[in-house]
Amino acid sequence: MCGIVGFVSHSGGGITYILHRALKALEYRGYDSCGIATVHENRIYFEKDKGKIDEVFVQINPEELPGPLGIAHTRWATHGAPSRENAHPHLDCSDSIAVVHNGVIENFLKLRKELTSKGHNFKSETDTECIAHLIEEFMSNGCGIFEAIKKTIRRLEGSYALAVVSARDPGRLYCARNESPLVIGLGEDGNYCASDIPAFLFWTNKVIVLHDGELATIGSESVAIENVNGLKIEREPVVVSWTADMASKSGYPHFMLKEIHEQPKALRDTLKFKQQTIDKFAEIISQAEQLYIVAAGTSYHSGLAAQSVLSQTIGIPSQAIISSEFANLVGNSLSENDVVIAVSQSGETIDTLRAIRHAQSKKSKVLAITNVLGSGITREADLVFYTQAGPEIGVAATKTFLVQLTTFTRIALKLLDNFGTNSPAYTENFREKLNQTPQALNQVINKLEIKTKSLASFLAEKSNAFYLGRGVSVSTALEGALKLKEISYIHAEGYSAGESKHGPIALVDEGFPVIFIAPNDVTRKDILGNVMEMRARGAYIITLGEEGDKELAQVSHQFLDMPQGFSLPFSPILYVVPLQLIAYYTAVKRGYDPDKPRNLAKSVTVP
């Protein structure tokens, strides 16, 4: 939530353009207000306002923001409503220190009271502003800027990624982090800091990840890192494989549509990535007394599907638990013999990080599946598998559901190889089908995109929808409903089809859309019964079933035919994609921007 960037250039020109472009790549982190500050000849220039990045930047005259370095921010409001006053950057009393911040300062009220009593004049309701005044206070007591920042962060409780500029130091910017992501980019034309790598991918893929409790001084040709205790840190940059093109729309109208179309490639890349790590995951899982999967949102849905995949294919029981409820639910029952798999696209979801910390406090082993290099999760888990989705910029998760589930399916296959009691033919068929999923997915998209678009025109007029499935398809149903509600604002519920008769069916009347996920597995017969029940009450039936399933097609008003032979464990990987397309086209039809749904941000770093 919230994105920060900073840039120090060699040449001194084009700062506004670069910061604008970098900030755009972080827009998924929040978009209710934004701002920029530059430093030129011992003066800070700044602009900020409520609104999306392009709306605000169109009013900024780059000539009026001169200087070779600057910082910028895109906000997702936590403390104080979206407004010009609450937008970042925040400045001290004399407008000579500017700060952008991602995170939450928990003791800000106490700090604010203390600083107000010392005569500091606050202009916003934010927690961030106290940082600028605290730095000012230390500087007025004789500290240089770096020392003042160091003393300031020792006083802060909570999470932060900060970038700071000072009018007294027009050649450098400073940054620090604790529990909020911050990466440094080493470019040809200067150096960057940002909340996430896509911000500077257009200029460099050489990255240094800043760790908790560290500060960096960034000049145009130098980066110096030390920790809060003054220990100097030498860290080599890593070269990431992501490219600028991956972080651009490449001709698609929205990131979400581009990312839906990238899914076959994301599957292919994830299928061939690091077999050794998959083997290690399988070994650790096979020794677990209890196995838990913790995640939030879409990642939780992939965890739920994984629970079925592991139990149905290899007979390993596990429990998928929403991260924010993990500690409440498992309490003290965890032990050192248990294994917790944390799943998170961003690797920064605070609830998932807290679940990890709870597991570690009980000495359980923690494995992580994430998509983002250097994210919080990667530093806290015992072992990490990186999914190969590339950057996911649309706020609604798409590629990552598929690659997370592919990772679990690879683990299941390894467990089958090592311990399976199934016939060799079963395992070989499993392997073959898994390797065929990218191609099958390509066919699904090619065949069904137009049909999902026309279904979207129908759904766009509706106020409610049910998504129903059984077994592993409950997770597909939950994910389909989440996609529709979060980007098209139509009330949608994903449910177990069996459970739908225990209450939800009361809502169904003439024309109520019910979407059934009905692959050709052991659940199909019961699903057929549920379709008939809903139909008898006037529901408009949309079914996703196997090509050639005439019986299902006949009882459906709309039938989306999926490739034959991809039932459990592969069905969620393929069946979720038409649901993503339906949600996307419904949002577009209703005139909404699917990449920036209201009230949401892609990484949720507050509990």
Annotated catalytic residues are 2, 602
Q: Decide the pairing of beta strands 97-105 and 158-166.
A: antiparallel
> What letter would DSSP give residue 383?
E
Furthest-apart CA atoms within the chain: distance in Å: 81
Nearer to ligand F6R, 191 or 398 (CB): 398
> What letter would DSSP give residue 350?
H
Chain contacts with ligand F6R (rule: CB under 6 A): 296-299, 344-346, 349, 352, 396-397, 482, 486, 603-604
Nearer to ligand F6R, 86 or 586 (CB): 586
Q: Half-sphere exposure of 394 toward its Cβ, with a 13 Å CA cutoff?
A: 26
Nearer to ligand F6R, 385 or 512 (CB): 385
| Residue whose CB is nearest to ligand F6R in the complex, by number | 297
Q: Decide the pairing of beta strands 206-209 and 214-218.
A: unpaired
Which residue type, as a one-letter code, is found at position 374?
G
Nearer to ligand F6R, 36 or 296 (CB): 296
Distance CA 180, CA 1 (A): 9
Q: Which of 222, 163, 174 is nearest to 26 (CA)?
A: 163
CB of 320 to ligand F6R, least distance (A): 13
* Tokens matching residue 416: 């089958």
Q: Decide the pairing of beta strands 291-295 and 339-344.
A: parallel
If DSSP states are collapsed to H, E and C, what string results for 51-81? CCHHHHHCCCCHHHCCCCEEEEEEECCCCCC
Phi/psi of residue 11, nearest 5 degrees: -85, -25
Distance CA 572, CA 556 (A): 20
Nearer to ligand F6R, 203 or 385 (CB): 385
Q: What share of the chain is helix, strand, coil (3-state, %, to 5)?
A: 40, 25, 35
Q: Where are the beta strands (DSSP E) in 477-604?
A: 491-496, 513-518, 540-546, 558-562
Count CB neighbours of 300 within 10 A: 25
Torsion angle, CA of 470/475/478/483, rounded to 10 degrees?
-130
What are the b/e assignments for 140-175, b being 16+ CB within 10 Å? eeebebbebbbbbbebbeebbbbbbbbbebbebbbb
* Tokens matching residue 280: 């290690």
Nearer to ligand F6R, 387 or 473 (CB): 387
* Tokens matching residue 409: 């399916």
For the chain, how many residues are written? 607
| H-assigned helices in 537-596 | 550-555, 571-589
* Tokens matching residue 84: 């010009």
Nearer to ligand F6R, 45 or 300 (CB): 300
Is residue 72 within 8 Å of 19, Cβ to Cβ? yes
Nearer to ligand F6R, 112 or 485 (CB): 485
* Tokens matching residue 12: 């001194």
Nearer to ligand F6R, 90 or 485 (CB): 485
